[in-house]
Amino acid sequence: MCANIVVAEDDVKQAELVRRYLEHEGHTVTVVEDGRAALEEIRRGEPDLLVLDVMMPRADGLDVVRILRAEGREVLVLMLTARSTEDDLLLGLDLGADDYMTKPFSPRELMARVRTLLRRNRRSGGPATDSAPAAAVVEDETLSVGTLRIDPARHEVSVAGTPVVCTPGEFRILAAMATEPDRVFTRQRLLEELHGFDKYISDRTVDVHIMHLRKKIEHAPRRPARLLTVFGVGYKLTDPAKNARHAQS
């Protein structure tokens, strides 16, 4: 699975190491040394993946992610950071990064993360293996849960006809849950949609994506009616209009 990858890293030795490993796996790699150059390269070439150092001159990695997502660009972002506190890591995810690794890291582990991200991004969100009481309405391969529409082929989301821009990670979670409305998905199950069976990823990653999705698809994100928490278990995606009708009957 070859891809076009941009590596944004101002440490020349680190950048060269990452480049050699990526090219060994057949990827086409472009290396840049600062945040502005990373933005210019993404805008010019629309690569599949950005391997992005956080601490860089001329716009740090967090600013790069913020700008890319504000522009609606869906490139996968794997952040490399020397910051090891959970709040720093979750901030990157909240801004729209898809995964992160803390320095120092194993190049082999980095390659495994890259393979997982590319593989998960290029497959459509399939149904989970557990049984469920309901199924999404599929119209020409578009998943519908109430007024929420998800088109896996076009990577498009809308609510009541209004387009919603989702990061690749947000889209994978939403598409997986939309295949089985009203089913409760555990955090572990959603983590598998995001990263496979990666033991290094915290389940708080899912919470950050859910919080971000609520801001995009809920009328009142602090009082969600569509993307609900099932305390002690996980989350479920439901049709608020259907639930309102049932409550009145």
Q: What's the CA angle centered on 214, arms 157 and 156, to 5 degrees?
A: 10
Q: Residue type for 75, please?
A: V
pLDDT in tens, 144-163: 999 999 988 778 899 999 99
Q: Count CA atoms within 13 Å of residue 132 on its CB side.
A: 20
Domain residue ranges of the chain, discontinuous segments joined by +: 4-122, 137-248
Highest mean pLDDT among 114-128, 170-184, 202-216: 170-184
Residue 124 has pLDDT above 70, yes or no: no
Alpha carbon distances (Å) from 214 to 208, 217, 228, 241: 10, 5, 9, 17
pLDDT in tens, 2-15: 899 999 999 999 99
Residue 153 and residue 213 in contact, taking contact as beta carbons nearer than 8 Å: no
Confidence of residue 64 (pLDDT cuts 50, 70, 90): very high
Which strand ranges, in their side-by-side order, compose the sheet holding 227-230?
Answer: 185-186, 234-237, 227-230
Which of the four CATH numbers 1.10.10.10, 1.10.1510.10, 2.30.29.30, 3.40.50.720 does domain 137-248 have?
Answer: 1.10.10.10
Residue 249 has pLDDT above 60, yes or no: no
Q: Tell me what pLDDT residue 23 has.
A: 94
Q: Tell me what pLDDT residue 199 has.
A: 43
Residue 185 has pLDDT above 60, yes or no: yes
Q: What's the CA angle centered on 93, arms 206 and 180, to 5 degrees?
A: 30
Please give the radius of gyration of the chain, using alpha carbons only, rounded to the nearest integer.
19
CATH for the stretch 4-122: 3.40.50.2300
Residue with tokens 């089985």: 180
| Residues linked to residue 236 through DSSP beta bridges, in sequence order | 228
Tell me the helices (H) and strands (E) count for the chain, helix number first.
Answer: 9, 13
Within 25-154, residue ranges assigned H as helices are 35-45, 61-70, 86-95, 107-122
Its pTM stands at: 0.57
